[in-house]
A and B are shown apart, each in its own frame.
Chain A
Amino acid sequence: MSTIEIKDKLLSKNDQNALANRNLFDRHGVWCVNLISAPGSGKTSLIESTADHLSGRLNLGVLVGDLETENDANRIAAHGVPVRQIITGGACHLNARTVGDFLVHFDLERLDALIIENVGNLVCPASYYLGEHDRVSLISTPEGDDKPLKYPGAIHTSDVMLITKTDLAPYTDFSIARCRENALKIESELTVMALSVRSGEGLDAWLEWFELHAGKKKKRAESTAAKGK
């Protein structure tokens, strides 16, 4: 019997596939954002609203992961955005290899931003890096303001926590301040925003954040291309 020392990350293969995706995004000047949340926190609604508000300003593409059905893709397609549905058939998260396989369906050169809607689940998707530039976790007000503490992995790996459905907050005991404080305990660098796609409250700040990140990426790609000429 002998011992083999390894010291590797358990998900190193996924990380390698994710880096390949990331390189592809960077080569084409596409900014990629990965949305993760529990089922029903409002990911698809946010994408629909974002697509409507940024239509004519940014070229978006959307990749949606779901256990079953094409419902979300159909909803998003109605907003005139190129979209592909990944049916995971039971897997509770997207992995980098599957995302990579689906990227061939997009005209990346034309896209400014790719939004990935992960499978509704606030635990598993957190461990699987897909190659995104930014990760956004959504927590809706009916879920409760202690959720960042119960799902620390998602919060810890996110760049932004988005509190959604603020229009419903008056009917719950949800406190935005407490939710923010709980999240900052886990990840002190986190950007926290709150919005409702129903009332429109807070949407401007989200759209501004989104456009800033997608726009920066685009400019950088253009200046690299110009230098190459």
Chain B
Amino acid sequence: MHELSIAENLLELVDKYRAEKGFTRCSSIRLRIGLLAAVDEEALRFAVEALTEGGPDAGVSLEVERTFPLARCSCGNSFEVQDLIYLCERCGSTSARLSGGDELDILHLEVD
């Protein structure tokens, strides 16, 4: 559900750029999605495929760049968080604070 409405917003943006730049077909979209945005990549691909079927952008490919939050531990150590059950490798503390990793951005389009 979440991914469907994100896909709708994405394709609306593609149409907006189509009107502005005058291309016919978008063949590839590059996105940046952070871990905290909680987007399931497979569900998003499925939604985009379903919504573009039969239209000019049918078969458009999605390139997804995933980003992860940075944890800063009170011991001074910083590390990337791939999974939210995390632990500081230097001091064993579980109290590192997160920043970033909530991106939901469109970076570029490949068009014909």
Could you list which residues of chain A lie within 8 angstroms of chain B, going by C-beta atoms?
A: 1-14, 90-93, 95, 123-124, 126-127, 149-153, 156-157, 181, 184-188
Select A8's contact among B5, B106, B111, beta carbons within 8 Å.
B106
Minimal beta-carbon separation of A69 from chain B (angstroms): 18
In the complex, which range does the number of interface residues on chain B fall in? 20 to 34
Residues in B whose Cβ lies below 8 Å from that of A186:
36, 84, 98
Residues in A whose Cβ lies below 8 Å from that of B2:
92-93, 123-124, 127
Q: Which of B9, B21, B27, B112 has the most CB of A within 10 A?
A: B9
Knowing A153-B38, A185-B97, A188-B97, say if A14 contacts B108 (CB, 8 Å): no
Tell whether B91 is near chain A: CB-to-CB under 8 Å. no
Interface contact B97-A184, CB-CB below 8 Å: yes
Select B102's contact among A4, A6, A90, A156, beta carbons within 8 Å.
A156
Interface contact A181-B95, CB-CB below 8 Å: yes
Residues in A whose Cβ lies below 8 Å from that of B10:
10
Minimal beta-carbon separation of A128 from chain B (angstroms): 8
Minimal beta-carbon separation of B10 from chain A (angstroms): 6
Interface contact B107-A7, CB-CB below 8 Å: yes
Tell whether B41 is near chain A: CB-to-CB under 8 Å. no
Interface contact B13-A7, CB-CB below 8 Å: no
Tell whether B94 is near chain A: CB-to-CB under 8 Å. yes
Interface contact B38-A13, CB-CB below 8 Å: no
Residues in A whose Cβ lies below 8 Å from that of B36:
152-153, 156, 186
Minimal beta-carbon separation of B60 from chain A (angstroms): 13
Interface contact A10-B85, CB-CB below 8 Å: no
Residues in A whose Cβ lies below 8 Å from that of B111:
1-4
Residue of chain A at shortest CB distance from B84 = A149
In Å, the complex CA distance between A184 and B95 comes to: 8
Minimal beta-carbon separation of B21 from chain A (angstroms): 6
Residues in B whose Cβ lies below 8 Å from that of A153:
36-38, 102
Q: Which 7 residue pairs across A and B have the least CB separation, nearest first?
A: A124-B2, A92-B1, A188-B97, A149-B84, A153-B38, A4-B109, A10-B104
Interface contact A6-B107, CB-CB below 8 Å: yes
Minimal beta-carbon separation of B13 from chain A (angstroms): 7
